[in-house]
Amino acid sequence: MQTKEQAGDIFDRVRKLSSADETEVLFSGGKFALTRFANNTIHQNVEDQNHVLSVRTVFDGRTARASTNRFDEENLRRVVVASEALAKVQLPDPDLLPMPDSREANGNAGMSNRATASRHFAETAAVTPQLRAEAVRQIVDLAEKHKLTAAGIYSSSESVEGNFNSRGLARWHTQTLAEVSISILGNDSSGWQKANSPNVANLNPVRMAEIAARKAIDSAHPAEISPGKYTVILEPSAALDIVGFMFWDYSGMAILDQRSFLTGRIGSKLFGDNITIWDDVTHPLQTGCPFDGEGMTRKCVPLVKNGIVKRVVYARATAARMKRSEYKDKVGPIEATGHGFPLPNEIGEMPVNIVFATPENPQTVGEMIASTERGILVTRLWYIREVDPYEKIVTGMTRDGTFLVENGRVRGGVRNFRFNESLIQMLSNVEAMSVAARACGEESLDMVVPAMKVRDFNFTEVTKF
């Protein structure tokens, strides 16, 4: 693994090679390993190591980026030359700001952020192929005990991110992550569980397999029921995957581009009173790097309070543009929040560490089921895509454990549905939520999010299984 000291030495070499007004070097990479199983067999088992260095140069308001994964002198020279050549032929960008120095990047005066706790765990970094295989063997044993079939992954990684610039900024982040995803399949049913954590000790693959197997067993012989509007109980991963589709829009650049569903709606009450959301990289259940693509510290940003959209996040240049724009009095507080992507880019920024507030009176999923006269319990959503960008209608399917709930009890499995649902409507119809928990899915970034009971969820079609 690359160290901050090694990266600093490389940055010094790059800086000596650069003739630019300003030079920035991003470092990323590490070691990633993944054991994959299906049909109760490990069928793929991979490991890779890679580190990437990306050089951004600036000449008189012109900027561009070039990257390489080779750090010898010749290739450092090549990547600097490539970055400079690209930058010099750009048009000057009047919105481009000088690179941040350490004071600006670390400052964030007036913010009350927690320090981000270490997200690097030696125990995770030390996970071996043998340890992963042993966990898979236990998962497979459990599946075979029930005459079911297991498929899934167990991955472990150790990674670095760094940002150094010619104004003295030197930021470094290391992290580990372990992830387990398990599908248990029956003849006509399936169940699924997925979890990850920087600390492998927080994962319990066997317990996850037991839950997935129970879902497969309980959803066997699925009944076909008509599509329509149902009360749904979305487990946290399902809630995450669908609501995640709106967070690209909580961006100053998306407002300026008029591609956000929040254009003209900031300050409005869009969702129910019980919806409060913020972005907070320091949350103990969150993961990720505490600084953004320019090296700015990620601030804690309240996005929605009691259903009212309060503000969006900003990269430095976007905040400066917004302050000059026609929207400046209509979008709440405007400041660089540390959510920018590496420059140059066309999308600006987005919140990547979403945290939903736990309601005053949280309910467990079991309590939600008990209070439901007729509804659908959803384990997982799949292949979600945006249908309408301003009404924020998204479509997708249920998958791997979809159940009919009647008179407060789970009655059995049902065939999977297609939904077409407005996220504005959905978050206005949340009747109950659980304690917010760390969840991960397939289509959206990991989140701290509750299970949600939602009325009038719009299923438009049913599929064949």
Partner 1 sequence: MNHIMQPALNVATVRGASYADVRVINQRSRALTTKNGKVGSASGSESFGMNVRVIVDGAWGFAASEDLSRQGVEATAARAVEISRASASVKRKDVQLAPEKAVTGEWTTPHKIDPFSISVEQNIELLLKIDSEMRAVPGVTLAEANLNFNREEQWFASSEGSDIHQTKYSSGAGYTAYAFAGNEIQKRSYPNSYGGQWQNKGYELIEELRLVQNARRIAEEAVALHHADQCPEGTFDIILDSSQLGLQIHESIGHPIELDRVLGMEANFAGTSFLTLDKLRTLRYGSDIVNVVADARQEHGPGLGTFGFDDEGVPAQCTPIIRNGLFTGYLSSRETAPMIGESRSGGTLRAEGWNRLPIIRMTNVSLLPGEKPLTLEQLIASTDHGILMQTNRSWSIDDKRFNFQFGCEIGWEIKGGKRVRALKNPSYSGITTEFWNALDAICSRDEWTLWGTPNCGKGQPQQVIGTGHGAAPSRFKNIKVGSAYKGS
Q: Which of residues 238-297 bind partner 1 (CB under 8 A)?
A: 257-259, 263
Place of tokens 């390993």: 33
How many Cβ atoms from other residues are within 10 Å of residue 345's Cβ?
A: 13
The mark string for 417-456 relative to partner 1 (x by CB under 8 A, - otherwise) is: -x-xxx--x----------------x--------------
Residues 375/230, Cβ–Cβ less than 8 Å: yes
- Please, which of residues 172-191 interact with partner 1 by CB under 8 A? 181-183, 185, 190
Asked if 59 is part of the footprint of partner 1 (rule: CB under 8 A), the reply reads no
Pick one of 3, 12, 16, 89: the residue that binds partner 1 (CB under 8 A): 89
If the CB atoms of residues 158 and 280 are measured against partner 1, the closer one turns out to be 158
Q: Rounded to 5 degrees, what angle do the CA atoms 408, 214, 218 make?
A: 55
User: Please, which residue, 174 or 425, has the CB nearer to partner 1?
Assistant: 425
Angle (CA) 462-464-465 rounded to 5° is 100
DSSP 221: S
> Which span (15-23, 66-74, 165-173, 308-316) binds partner 1, by CB under 8 A?
66-74
Question: Helix or strand or coil: residue 123?
Answer: helix
Query: Considering the rule CB under 8 A, would residue 151 count as an interface residue with partner 1?
Result: yes
d(CA 402, CA 459): 13
Per CB under 8 A, the list member of 137, 207, 221, 328 interacting with partner 1 is 137
Residues 395-414 contacting partner 1, CB under 8 A: 395-397, 399-400
Q: Which stretch binds partner 1 (CB under 8 A): 117-125, 136-144, 287-295, 401-409?
A: 136-144
Q: Is 143 helix (H, G, I), strand (E, B) or coil?
A: helix
Note whether 6 binds partner 1 by CB under 8 A: no
Exactly one of 9, 12, 19, 85 binds partner 1 (CB under 8 A); that residue is 85
User: Which residues make Cβ contacts (< 8 Å) with residue 9, sequence separation at least 6?
Assistant: none
Judged by beta carbon, residue 28 or residue 363, the one nearer partner 1 is 28
118 binds partner 1 (CB under 8 A): no
**Packed helices 129-145 and 205-218: angle between N→C axes, nearest 10 degrees:** 30
Site for partner 1 in 341-380 (CB under 8 A): 344-346
Q: Minimal distance in Å, beta carbon 221 to partner 1?
A: 17
**Residue 164 lies near partner 1 (rule: CB under 8 A):** no
What is the Cα–Cα distance from 212 to 183, expressed in whole angstroms? 6
Which residues partner with 446 through β-bridges?
Answer: none
User: Which residue type sits at 326?
Assistant: E
